[in-house]
Structure 1
């Protein structure tokens, strides 16, 4: 922050603690151009954040999604979303700095800088509602993986003679308790190690799922599936339509990360090269890796299981043996989702804490930090009471809501439909138009608007299908009762 030609160093409550001379050695060594501590993010750590966010539990539902759309529609929809997300992420990368060179620290800051007005609040509403929904979805997904571990071991001991049902509530509570501790990590830039571990885990369970599918194809000697997906007869005509729409929403959700791209980009160390250049390189690497994995896991999973592919390839028991390898895969899912939860929730944590500091700058409960010396660790860990209470309450609420509404595939579909058009397409395109001052009705403007309208229609279709799926599933639904 510039203060009278000098750099003001911000404290937790965004107040200026002290100032440094413009060309200070301390500034160049320890602080960036905005007075904040030096960012240290690299292509590796930034890619880890994105892969942790993108290659999530959604990859395990892709075989089910392709089963609804078939060999023609499934891969085509996946490639389409891969292109759209890569294109929009590249546009977003240019929005990190304003035309004056100032940084935008969050998605909302980028919208405020380029568009302004009521669209800033609309963007914030969509972004943080979506991140809250993802936290709920990941809590559900983790409990399903934990239950799958219990069930596979039970099947192994009983020779599959027992139903081996178990409740998901204890596992959701366990996940919530762990997340309460992880949520006390102050910011996204300090989560790089957790993102790297989570990214490795995502490759682990995706590779195991892929291996299971390949072995099953080799054993049967046949490639299952059809050109148009699950046939009418196995499901009704209406269910076929709704499930196809829901599958589109699931695929859309599995690619989305533009809504946390600015927050991730804010961890990249200062130029040269520019943050946008690094981010575009990361986008390309991440898009190639995720699309390759998605095509492999989705298509080979469908080829192995066919039209009756489960909603979650590792927990729907499309595969049983070897049970210990299935357990390893589901443990990897759990570890990955522990990290992914944090990557998605840190922007919410940061937003609320900055808002509280802005409105109550004199409150010691909000601004005071207590030094806690942990033996063997340097420097001291700083405990902020507001952060401790607020983040604990957030995790508690997401856990309770997940226990109330444990509908994994439906949650994925609704989230994909809700966020895809506004956050992944509309805002990036509108900011690009405003930033580059693209003339109205020019060829580029028209093409951009056509892409936006096309994606809006896809979001509506996916949303309708997901809501229909929820309506059907709610008929057999009981709150606080997730049993597999």
Structure 2
């Protein structure tokens, strides 16, 4: 894992830094050309060095995100029977469609065809027409939403450190332990301003690996604390049931319905990494074939996350019962040992610093490559200014990149400050993007590529799967919107929240 390449097809920046290194080789016979400066892939781009291991690190960074924190709450809404069933169902569906999507990376042939560097390119190659814009809208809208959501979550985690220390000092009922999230969102934004300026993201693979390690760390701490709580036995008022929160006891019938939908949305969101699957695949080296390696990476990534999810969700539910908090490390299900909860929350914040980059890089790449195509003569957009940085070497600054990426980070932070509703917000994004990106496009591209005849058995069951997921997505979206409406009723912007 010496130099795993993370990253979101940002090679076009190099075209301005190092034009002599390119001898574009269009004969797709897989011949790799060497020249004096750089080894290139068969399409004249810098050689990729990623393996299935780095691929699975990116998947784990993208998947075991803040999703894991709301799973105890989600399972509390669904209960012991439906909760684990829904979790397993989503892991199977995600894995199945991710194998279909991995084959769409090259077209027309999955092994020897030309590369599609982004999800939109794959849709353009296989489906074309209006669907390309729809895919772009779903993908980039989802990525923007996730970066806003991560800004909120990171600040909640840092605030939780302050609050848990305060509760430790002042006692658990202390009123003065309210801390405002706003300054911490600003700090998170400042860190992202710096990281966003690193143009070639494959130098940042260490960030993905660090983030994956952090996500394991806080999941294991949450799990360990839950196990300790269950083993400790002194759990007054903790009840768990086969069907989750009980109508008439903890919730009204309407609340039960809404919350069930929202819980399904949270679980769907917890698995969604299809948004960046093609971009992750674009970091893998060309032999063995990328689609084989990507399937291995998906299997490793999804198996790992499913084990974690089932453990964290179920053990978290066992620990807190039907009153499980929306985020079990910051909702103060746990108070002691306070230093361990602090470590877990710091791990979440570090993980989200890396995850934010993994999700915003495709947006940066998309905007910059389109602007370069549109205004190739514009020096503001295309010129790279080399600056020598001690210990790092030459660092290229591009004024357009500096201005636009900084503006993007600032906008996400401001949005996060205005709308800090964590669960509902993530549930809504998960619901809106889950069906098109995780289910609809992979299935449609597969049907188009394999030329599956209409109304054949395969075609019929693929369509049934797609329609079922659409219905689930719609229900989850409705549940999240209802949750948002409830939050907005009691909401005051920029006040210190829970």
TM-score > 0.5, shorter chain as reference: yes
Contact preservation (8 Å) 1:127, 1:423: yes
Cα separation, 2, equivalents of 1:477 and 1:187 = 41
Deviation at 1:162, TM superposition (A): 2.1
Q: Give unpaired runs (5+ residues) of structure 1.
A: 1-8
Cα separation, 2, equivalents of 1:448 and 1:225 = 36
Closer, same or farther in 2 for the Cα pair 1:10/1:227, shift >3 Å?
closer
2:385 match: secondary structure: strand
Contact preservation (8 Å) 1:406, 1:482: no
Partner residue in 2 for 1:3? none
Cα separation, 2, equivalents of 1:322 and 1:407 = 27
1:30 match: secondary structure: coil
Partner residue in 1 for 2:157? 145
Instruction: Say if 2:436 is the partner of 1:427.
Output: no
Instruction: Say if 2:53 is the partner of 1:44.
Output: yes
Q: Give unpaired runs (5+ residues) of structure 2.
A: 1-10, 26-30
2:252 to 229, 236, 244: 236
Deviation at 1:10, TM superposition (A): 6.3
Deviation at 1:160, TM superposition (A): 2.9
Closer, same or farther in 2 for the Cα pair 1:241/1:376, shift >3 Å?
same
Deviation at 1:220, TM superposition (A): 1.0
Partner residue in 2 for 1:476? 490
- Alignment coverage as a number of residue pairs: 474
2:389 match: secondary structure: coil
Instruction: Say if 2:207 is the partner of 1:194.
Output: yes
Partner residue in 2 for 1:399? 413
Instruction: Say if 2:302 is the partner of 1:287.
Output: yes
Deviation at 1:372, TM superposition (A): 1.2
1:382 match: secondary structure: strand
Closer, same or farther in 2 for the Cα pair 1:84/1:28, shift >3 Å?
farther
Cα separation, 2, equivalents of 1:28 and 1:13 = 13
1:150 match: secondary structure: helix
Partner residue in 2 for 1:455? 469
Closer, same or farther in 2 for the Cα pair 1:248/1:187, shift >3 Å?
farther
Normalization by structure 1: what TM-score?
0.95
Instruction: Say if 2:23 is the partner of 1:20.
Output: yes
Deviation at 1:17, TM superposition (A): 3.9
2:108 to 99, 104, 111: 99
Partner residue in 2 for 1:213? 226
Partner residue in 1 for 2:44? 35
Query: What's the CA shift string for 1:168-189, capped at 9, x where partnerless?
Result: 0001111111111111122443
Instruction: Say if 2:177 is the partner of 1:176.
Output: no
Q: How does 1:405-416 map to 2 (within 5 A)?
A: 405-416=419-430
Instruction: Say if 2:368 is the partner of 1:353.
Output: yes
Cα separation, 1, equivalents of 2:132 and 2:37 = 33
Deviation at 1:481, TM superposition (A): 2.4
2:397 match: secondary structure: strand
Query: What's the CA shift string for 1:73-128, capped at 9, x where partnerless?
Result: 11010001000100111001001101161100000000000000010001001100
2:400 to 372, 377, 386: 386
Cα separation, 2, equivalents of 1:205 and 1:93 = 30
Query: What's the CA shift string for 1:335-386, capped at 9, x where partnerless?
Result: 00000001011000000000110111011110010111111223x1111111
Contact preservation (8 Å) 2:240, 2:322: yes
Partner residue in 2 for 1:6? none
Q: Which moved more, 1:354-363 or 1:179-188?
A: 179-188
2:320 to 296, 305, 308: 305
Contact preservation (8 Å) 1:48, 1:192: no
Closer, same or farther in 2 for the Cα pair 1:311/1:34, shift >3 Å?
same
Cα separation, 2, equivalents of 1:27 and 1:429 = 43
1:63 to 61, 67, 72: 72
Closer, same or farther in 2 for the Cα pair 1:81/1:482, shift >3 Å?
farther
2:402 match: secondary structure: helix
Q: How does 1:237-386 map to 2 (within 5 A)?
A: 237-271=253-287, 273-378=288-393, 380-386=394-400
Contact preservation (8 Å) 2:17, 2:384: no
Cα separation, 2, equivalents of 1:342 and 1:359 = 25
1:410 match: secondary structure: helix
Instruction: Say if 2:120 is the partner of 1:111.
Output: no
Contact preservation (8 Å) 1:429, 1:448: yes
Normalization by structure 2: what TM-score?
0.92
Deviation at 1:15, TM superposition (A): 11
